[in-house]
Structure 1
Amino acid sequence: MDEIYRWMDDIERDNPDLVSSTIYGQTFEGRNITLLKLGLGTGSPGKKAIWMDCGIHAREWIAPAFCQWFVKEVILTYKTNEKLNQLLQNLDFYVTPVVNVDGYTFTWTNESTRLWRKSRSTPPSDCSCYGVDLNRNFNANWGAVGVSYDCCHNNYCGTSATSEPEVEAVTEFVGQRKQQMLCFLTIHSSGQLILMPYGHPEIAAPNQDELRAVGEAAAAEMKKLYGMNYRVGTSPQILYANSGSSRDWARLIGIPFSYTFELRDTGEFGHLLPEEQIQPACEEAYAGAFSIITAVHDKAFNITNTAAATVTGVMSFTGVAIMSLSLQGLLV
Structure 2
Amino acid sequence: MEEITEMNADLLQKIYIGSSFEKRPLYILKLSSNRDRTPKSAIWIDCGIHAREWIAPAFCLWFIGHKDRTMTRLLQHLDFYIMPVMNVDGYEYTWTTNRLWRKSRSKHGNNRCIGTDMNRNFDAGWCGKGASHNDCHEIYCGPYPESEPEVKAVAHFLQKHKDHIKAYITIHSYSQMVLFPYSYTTNKSKDHDELVSHKAVYRTEAKVAGNNLFPFLSPTDLAPGGSDDWAYDLGIKYSFTFELRDRGTHGFLLPPNLIKPTCIEALSGIKTIALHVINNI
- TM-score range relative to shorter protein: over 0.9
Aligned mates of 2:194, 2:37 — CA distance in 1: 28
CA RMSD in angstroms, aligned pairs only: 1.5
Aligned mates of 2:228, 2:24 — CA distance in 1: 24
122, 137, 149: which one aligns with 1:165: 149
Q: Secondary structure at the match of 1:11?
A: helix
Aligned residue for 2:212?
A: 228
1:27 aligns to 2:20 (yes or no): yes
Structure 2 residue ranges without an equivalent (≥5): none
Aligned mates of 2:160, 2:61 — CA distance in 1: 25
Aligned residue for 2:71?
A: 84
1:11 aligns to 2:4 (yes or no): yes
Aligned residue for 2:103?
A: 118
1:289 aligns to 2:270 (yes or no): yes
Does the Cα contact within 8 Å between 2:198 and 2:216 map onto a contact in 1?
Answer: no
Aligned mates of 2:199, 2:234 — CA distance in 1: 20
Report sequence identity in percent: 44
Deviations 1:170-203 (A, max 9, x none): 0000110111011000000000110000003333
- C-alpha spacing 1:62/1:223, structure 2 compared with 1 (3 Å): farther
Aligned residue for 1:107?
A: 94
Q: Secondary structure at the match of 1:86?
A: helix
Aligned residue for 1:265?
A: 246
Superposed displacement of residue 84, structure 1? 2.6
Superposed displacement of residue 9, structure 1? 1.7
Aligned residue for 1:49?
A: 42
Does the Cα contact within 8 Å between 2:184 and 2:225 map onto a contact in 1?
Answer: no
Does the Cα contact within 8 Å between 2:55 and 2:254 map onto a contact in 1?
Answer: yes
Deviations 1:32-70 (A, max 9, x none): 11111011122446x201000000000000000000110
1:210 aligns to 2:194 (yes or no): yes
**Worse overlay, 193-202 or 61-70:** 193-202
Does the Cα contact within 8 Å between 1:226 and 1:284 map onto a contact in 2?
Answer: no
- C-alpha spacing 1:223/1:101, structure 2 compared with 1 (3 Å): farther
Q: Secondary structure at the match of 2:197?
A: helix
Q: Secondary structure at the match of 1:108?
A: helix
Deviations 1:84-106 (A, max 9, x none): 32321221100011000000000
Alignment: residue pair count: 280
Does the Cα contact within 8 Å between 1:223 and 1:230 map onto a contact in 2?
Answer: no
Q: Secondary structure at the match of 1:235?
A: coil
Aligned residue for 1:150?
A: 134
Which residue type is aligned with residue 152 of structure 1?
C
Superposed displacement of residue 218, structure 1? 2.6
Does the Cα contact within 8 Å between 1:17 and 1:40 map onto a contact in 2?
Answer: yes
Superposed displacement of residue 227, structure 1? 4.2
Does the Cα contact within 8 Å between 1:194 and 1:219 map onto a contact in 2?
Answer: no
